[in-house]
Amino acid sequence: MQLFFEQLLNGVAMGAIYSLITLGLALVYGVMRILHVAHAAVYTAGAYVGLYVFTMTGSLLLAVPAAMAACALLGTAIERLIYTPLLKYPPFVPLIGSIAVFLALEEIFRLVGGPYILSFPAEFPFPGITVRGVVISPAIISIYAVSAAVLLLLWFVVTKTELGLAMRATSQDREIAGAMGINSSFTISMTFVLGSAVAAVAGILVGIYFNQVYPTMGAVPAYKCLALIVVGGLGSLPGAVLASLLLGVGETLLIGYANIPLPRDSLAFIAMIAVLLWRPQGLLGNR
Amino acid sequence: MNDLLLRLEGVSRHFGGLKAVDDVSFSLTRGEILGLIGPNGAGKTTCFNLISGVYAPTKGDIVLEGVSTAGFPPYRMAALGVGRTFQVVKPFSTLSVLNNVQVALGLKRYGGVLSSLGPWDTKASRKEALEILEEVGIGHLAASPSGQLPLGNQRRLELARALALKPKLLLLDETFSGLRHEEAALLSKLVLGVRARGISVLLIEHNMKVAMGLSDRLVVLDHGRLLAEGKPEEIRSDPRVVEAYLGKGASAHAS
């Protein structure tokens, strides 16, 4: 039973990290209707920048904001230089552009950071907790706390602020949003700033949790998180979070704990196929 | 000519080889209701899209209150005082009727990083939005989901959203089409009320009776070109206009 609870905690932690990456994709899909594959490269960039700043300064409190700022810049650069000019073409064109950016950035990480796995030796300044024999590591506590804070902040921005209202209006109908005085290109850029900064946090958390940062660490999340926004319901933010948490727990418990002989990363795609067959609008989608 | 609000100066908009709007000039004074009429494909909606900033003119200039606005994006035109409705009504369907109007109330703050991080759903904005909804007669529907309104009320919601921008110029794109007679009459009254507050109205209308009844002046477009311009009674008897609507030869019978 102890093992079960530890696995459950790990599963929720993985799910929380998935949701941090997936939310960026869902936000971008909402305002631009683009499948932002390169988002996973932004996440990797966050891990690298975080690691470099951490190595130089020894401070996570500096590393995290630096990585968030760098990723916000990278994300908006991708939007301005690649997506916006390609938006007038059919949707597969920006998608190909996105894949190209993703692969190019992976190569840049390889050139700059080296082709090997770097370790991220950050330690948390507080101890783990043991509850009735279940060990909760400081990394797990941090993932929970940081994810909860980021999710809460995103929820606040999207539902309560005028920027969030502008984002929702732009998602629904860009033309009418414009006629209501909403500067859609500014709104879209701000969406990339938000999504990319959150991806940076995810990159650092993963780097520390697995003590690994490497050029292709975004490869699996790139496609898995696309599957997740489909499972959640394209563009639905609560759906993206729900799908991510379910997947994190599902992967850990079914494949890790119950030993079902499937590759771990296949579960997201099985779920996506099931959703497409039985509930094409996704878990919480409304179209 | 101090009360001149809007002037189109030789405006053209081409799409590839198609001249959707071709060298059109007309002007609109403050508090005037100008009807924009013409057969299908005459370029009326393109004209609206040029004035509201959806398209930039290929040639010519659009001057609003003495400022050349050709090429301005829609959000800037909205900020300068151009409110519009759309031919096909599209409320933000996941938002309530009240919230739809509140979207337009954020106009002044959407462009700034800091200003746009304030809350949108404040007491003041609810109150203001509700007042506008009551003005157009759908205050009792404020909490309803906007996607399920019948057409007449959707049109009023569109009008309310446009009015929430506190426009100087209101563009109404076939706001009356598909409405029952009583609904159209109520909406006409609203438009006259809007004008009484000094807001100019430019309306596209297929129903001649409505267009003639409401407008102070009419501009007739045909194949992208300005065909005629004048008071309703002049337009009604203009043989070129009759011909454009009914075809060659019809003018002889009509007159």
pLDDT tens digits for range B38-96: 888 889 999 999 999 999 999 999 999 999 999 999 999 999 999 999 988 889 988 99
Residues of B in contact with A169 (CB under 8 A): 92, 103
Q: Which of B54, B76, B85, B92 to mutate to test the interface with A (most CBs of A within 10 A)?
A: B92
pLDDT at residue B198 greater than cutoff 60: yes
Percent of chain A scored above 90 by pLDDT?
77
A179 touching B (Cβ < 8 Å): yes
Percent of chain B scored above 70 by pLDDT?
95
**Mean pLDDT, rounded, for B202-223:** 90
Per-residue pLDDT reduced to its tens digit, A83-102? 999 999 999 999 999 999 99
Residues of A in contact with B108 (CB under 8 A): 181
- Residue A257 has a pLDDT of 72
Q: Specify the amino acid at residue A140.
A: I
- Residue A268 has a pLDDT of 87
Nearest chain A residue to B48 by CA: give it.
A179
ipTM of this predicted structure: 0.88
Contact criterion met (CB < 8 Å) for A180 and B107: yes
**Mean pLDDT, rounded, for A253-275:** 83
Per-residue pLDDT reduced to its tens digit, A33-81? 999 999 999 999 999 999 999 999 999 999 999 999 999 999 999 999 9
- Residue A246 has a pLDDT of 94
Contact criterion met (CB < 8 Å) for B102 and A165: yes
- Residue B249 has a pLDDT of 58
Q: How many CB atoms lie within 10 A of CB A108?
A: 15
Least CB-CB distance to B165: which of A166, A175, A181? A181
- Closest chain B C-alpha to A123 CA, distance in angstroms: 34
Contact criterion met (CB < 8 Å) for A182 and B120: no
The sign of the torsion formed by the CA atoms of B215, B219, B223, B224 equals negative
**Mean pLDDT, rounded, for B162-172:** 96
The residue among A199, A52, A64, A42 whose CA lies nearest residue A114 is: A52
Per the prediction, chain A carries an average pLDDT of 92
Torsions phi, psi of B111, nearest 5? -80, -15
DSSP strand E in chain A: where?
A: 129-131, 134-136
Contact criterion met (CB < 8 Å) for B107 and A168: no
- Closest chain A C-alpha to B45 CA, distance in angstroms: 14
State the pTM of this model: 0.90
A156 touching B (Cβ < 8 Å): no
Both tokens assigned to B240: 């070129």
Contact criterion met (CB < 8 Å) for B106 and A179: no
Percent of chain B scored above 90 by pLDDT?
66
- Residue B248 has a pLDDT of 63
- Residue A192 has a pLDDT of 97
pLDDT at residue B149 greater than cutoff 60: yes
- Closest chain A C-alpha to B84 CA, distance in angstroms: 7
Least CB-CB distance to B75: which of A163, A182, A190? A182
Please identify which residue in the block is written with the tokens 């060298």. Answer: B23
**Using 50, 70 and 90 to split pLDDT, how confident is the model at B28?**
very high
Per-residue pLDDT reduced to its tens digit, A155-181? 999 999 999 999 999 999 999 999 999
**Mean pLDDT, rounded, for B216-234:** 91
**Using 50, 70 and 90 to split pLDDT, how confident is the model at B110?**
confident
Q: Could you tell me which residue, A269 or B2, shows the higher pLDDT? A: A269
- Residue A154 has a pLDDT of 95
Residues of B in contact with A157 (CB under 8 A): 117
pLDDT at residue B1 greater than cutoff 70: no
A84 touching B (Cβ < 8 Å): no
A17 touching B (Cβ < 8 Å): no
pLDDT at residue B255 greater than cutoff 50: no
Contact criterion met (CB < 8 Å) for B74 and A179: yes
Segment A273-277 long-range contacts (CB within 8 Å, at least 24 positions apart):
A275/A230, A275/A231, A276/A230
Contact criterion met (CB < 8 Å) for A162 and B116: yes
- Residue A175 has a pLDDT of 92
Q: CB burial class (10 A; 0-12, 13-18, 19+) of residue A63? A: buried
Q: CB burial class (10 A; 0-12, 13-18, 19+) of residue B248? A: exposed
- Residue A287 has a pLDDT of 54
Least CB-CB distance to B94: which of A161, A172, A183? A172
Nearest chain B residue to A153 by CA: give it.
B117
pLDDT at residue A18 greater than cutoff 60: yes
For the ranges A97-101, A258-262, B97-101, the lowest mean pLDDT is seen at A258-262
Domain locations along chain B:
4-91+167-254
Torsions phi, psi of B151, nearest 5? -50, -45
For the ranges A135-144, B147-156, B242-251, the lowest mean pLDDT is seen at B242-251
Least CB-CB distance to B119: which of A160, A168, A190? A160
The residue among B224, B162, B236 whose CA lies nearest residue B8 is: B224
Nearest chain A residue to B171 by CA: give it.
A179
Q: Please give the CATH number for the structural domain made up of B4-91+167-254.
A: 3.40.50.300
Per-residue pLDDT reduced to its tens digit, A22-31? 999 999 999 9
pLDDT at residue B253 greater than cutoff 80: no
Nearest chain A residue to B114 by CA: give it.
A163
Nearest chain A residue to B86 by CA: give it.
A176
Contact criterion met (CB < 8 Å) for B83 and A179: yes
A286 touching B (Cβ < 8 Å): yes
**Mean pLDDT, rounded, for A117-142:** 89
Alpha-carbon distances, residue B250 vs A133, B206, B242, B243 (angstroms): 94, 19, 7, 6
A111 touching B (Cβ < 8 Å): no
A287 touching B (Cβ < 8 Å): no
Residues 6 or more apart whose CB falls under 8 angstroms from that of A172 comprise B92, B93, B94
- Closest chain B C-alpha to A169 CA, distance in angstroms: 7
